[in-house]
A and B are shown apart, each in its own frame.
Chain A
């Protein structure tokens, strides 16, 4: 089912009322939900973790949960499998095809973002052109590769992204219990972003260990903090807003491996002004995607 904006908002209001009911009878029950005043877009969603035999079925599951929380649109990437090591061109193409199938079935609820692996740069550029330049996708990433993103192998991809003014979502983690080989950190992304000041990056997970990730990217203005895919530890979004400014913080979930709920709570539960929540929950993402959407004649 394709929902228009009016339907989304109606479900949102219903969800808001439901939160009141959760508060229990006779209680003040301030609903902590984002309310119908925010248009929520999610930069970081996968088909992985949602049940279903087809991309369309999995997307339908995601949409059902999006409706309950009032999420208007997700940016979908990587298809079924986030964790392919050294993916072959066939695997990359198959995952991007799955995303495009899901988006085609729910054009008002999702845009696609191209999955690439810079282990094969020539193929990467072909796939970029197939999915973004000549196809429906509006951004790059989540890039989650076997090559750390400070590698020069990323440069041609970034230059192609700059040429079409599409943002790049780059996976990053800082693990205190030992990093995976080839896994990027915010420090790696800073190197890449400094080489390409024209590009726009979203630092996926803000490194997970967000107190470090926020500090790492603070002085590099073409990097936004993506808040998806980590525990909803309180203080994350407050610190990001304090150090980066609300205009550099972007909501995402990392669903279906994560719940929309736990990740949206980082913004909804943060003690920041509503104006900041509005930017983080969707305003910033729409601004980043604006050139790409306009070029394709898509809605923002």
Chain B
């Protein structure tokens, strides 16, 4: 099983079981995960993104070689963010990057994002965009961060046909009712994880609206209980081939660039 939505280190407003990389790896292995795509919570809050990515790569190597796959952080509103992309790709050898536009203060129609997506597509880097991290109703009152509005992607995605984009934490708070979400879902180069997919029958609905090949397993662990995503798959009543595709095959194809 491949978990495409894991984060390392501390969340500033709550101690999480599994916020130590070694403990996280041990727990995920026990839960049946064979590979986890890991970004860093630090990336949301630190301006020294290069330092964040170096620590992430080191932790993945030290605690989860052949298990934790680092996804670097890039903030296209920082000076010389292009150097962060280069280091992610050439120094840390990451297969992809994870973006947090709401925590970094830009919208998806910002020209800087288009430049970043173009650079990522050119280098063959996977791009994950986390549409939200937390229910806005429960956020720390002095740090209110609304979810990302994915609407601009409808016009942006066709400009980058070689881009492989994964939307994380889409659904309950990440734009299920956003205008143009159906166009975004129908684009051929966007995938969805299931961490914030909600409602009874929600996963089956997401598959019907997209494709069984464009839904990937993502837990948002350790912020969420891992079992939330796992039980969603179990309770969806999927055919065996779809279950395997979502829990492993689609992510593997994405990582291998075969999608």
Q: Could you tell me which A residues sit within 8 Å of B by CB distance?
A: 15, 18-24, 27-33, 49-51, 61-62, 64-65, 68-69, 173, 175-177, 208-211, 230-235, 238, 255-262, 264-266, 268-271
Contacts and interface: CB of A to CB of B under 8 A. Distances in A.
Contacts of A19: 32, 230, 234
Nearest to B247: A22
Given A61-B201, A230-B138, A22 B234 contact: yes
Given A22-B32, A24-B32, A262 B137 contact: no
Interface of B: 1, 14-18, 29-32, 34, 134-141, 144, 172, 196-202, 221-228, 230-237, 240, 243, 247-248
> Which of B16, B29, B231, B237 gathers the greatest number of chain A CB atoms within 10 Å?
B231
B198 A22 contact: no
B200 A255 contact: yes
Contacts of B224: 231-234, 265
A68 B196 CA distance: 20
17 contacts: A15-B235, A18-B234, A19-B234, A21-B240, A22-B1, A22-B234, A27-B1, A30-B31, A51-B201, A62-B200, A176-B136, A177-B139, A177-B144, A234-B225, A238-B17, A259-B232, A265-B230
Contacts of A49: 199-200
Given A176-B140, A265-B227, A32 B31 contact: yes
B135 A208 contact: yes
Q: Is the interface of A mostly helix, strand, loop or mixed?
A: loop
Contacts of B198: 257-259, 262
A208 B235 contact: no
A65 to B, nearest CB: 5
B17 A271 contact: yes
Given A175-B137, A231-B135, A259 B230 contact: no
B94 to A, nearest CB: 23
Contacts of A208: 135, 137-138
Q: Which of A27, A64, A175, A261 has the most CB of B within 10 A?
A: A261
A230 B135 contact: yes
Contacts of B136: 176-177
A30 B30 contact: yes
Contacts of A259: 197-200, 202, 231-232, 235
Contacts of B236: 68
A258 B226 CA distance: 16
A197 to B, nearest CB: 30
Contacts of A232: 224-225, 227-228
Contact of A261 (B34, B232, B247): B232
A156 B169 CA distance: 44
Contacts of B237: 64, 68
B247 A24 contact: yes
B225 A176 contact: no
Given A24-B247, A28-B30, A30-B31, A261 B235 contact: yes
A264 B231 contact: yes
Contact of A268 (B16, B140, B227): B227
Given A61-B201, A68-B234, A235-B17, A262 B135 contact: no
Contacts of B231: 32-33, 69, 259-262, 264-265, 268
A270 B234 contact: no
A70 to B, nearest CB: 10
Contacts of A257: 198-199
B32 A235 contact: no
Contacts of B202: 259
Contacts of B233: 22
Given A50-B200, A65-B201, A208-B137, A32 B227 contact: yes
Contacts of B199: 49, 255-259
A27 B221 CA distance: 19
Nearest to A270: B225
A234 B17 contact: yes
A257 B32 CA distance: 28
Contact of A24 (B34, B141, B197): B34
B200 A234 contact: no
Given A19-B32, A22-B1, A269-B226, 9 more contacts: A23-B32, A31-B32, A33-B231, A208-B135, A231-B196, A235-B14, A262-B232, A265-B231, A268-B227
Contacts of B34: 24, 27
B234 A173 contact: no
A69 B235 CA distance: 6
A177 B173 CA distance: 14
B91 to A, nearest CB: 31
A266 B232 contact: no
A29 B29 CA distance: 8
Nearest to B199: A49
A214 B202 CA distance: 29
